[in-house]
Structure 1
Amino acid sequence: MASTVILTRMTMPTLLDLEALAEKTGLTYATVRSYHNHAEARRRDGNPRPGDLPPPDKRFGRSPAWLEKTIDELLANRPGRGAGGGRPPKRAQE
């Protein structure tokens, strides 16, 4: 009796390196690299901030990579423009 084996192609999750992350977010490579380096330094110092890039899901040598779903979650939950501190607006003079 012959049996039939059906092979399905499993899809591998998409990994984004710094260059792909820059393309996805519309930022420059230098900006994304800076965001990553600052987030890593804050985590090392024990001072992570909301909206920081998360730790890489994978590393290839010294190169970080994130699952696309990790970045999608970050972008969906990242504080928007104007969130946080900064100089308060000037009050109108009377």
Structure 2
Amino acid sequence: MTTEYLGVKQVAERLGITQGALLSLNLPEPDALTGRTRGWLPSTIDRWNATRPGRGVGGGRPRKKPVD
């Protein structure tokens, strides 16, 4: 049986983001490495994506206080 790995392009497509946005994330360690090409099992990416914080996590600018 052949094991298929996802490359950067396929991981980005699976997550619905651009390759540039994907490269700014801390990806998990690849399941396979051929030369400089990284490969991940779909289950590795799905598990990693499920544990990532949601959108807007981390703060941002504080809200302005309402004027009384």
Choose between structure 1 and 2: higher helix proportion: 1
User: Are residues 1:24 and 2:14 paired?
Assistant: yes
Structure 2, unaligned runs of 5 or more: none
The question of 1:91 aligning with 2:34 is answered no
Which AA in structure 1 matches 2:15? T
Deviation at 1:27, TM superposition (A): 0.8
2:24 is matched with which residue: 11, 16, 34?
34
Moved over 2 A (4+): none
State the distance in 2 between where 1:91 and 1:65 align. 48
Q: Which has the higher contact order (CA 8 A, sep 6+)?
A: 2
User: What is the TM-score of this pair, normalised by structure 2?
Assistant: 0.81
Which residue matches 1:55? 29
Identity of aligned residues (%): 46
Larger radius of gyration: 1
Please report the RMSD computed on the Cα atoms of aligned residues, expressed in angstroms.
1.6
In structure 2, give the amino acid aligned to 1:26: G
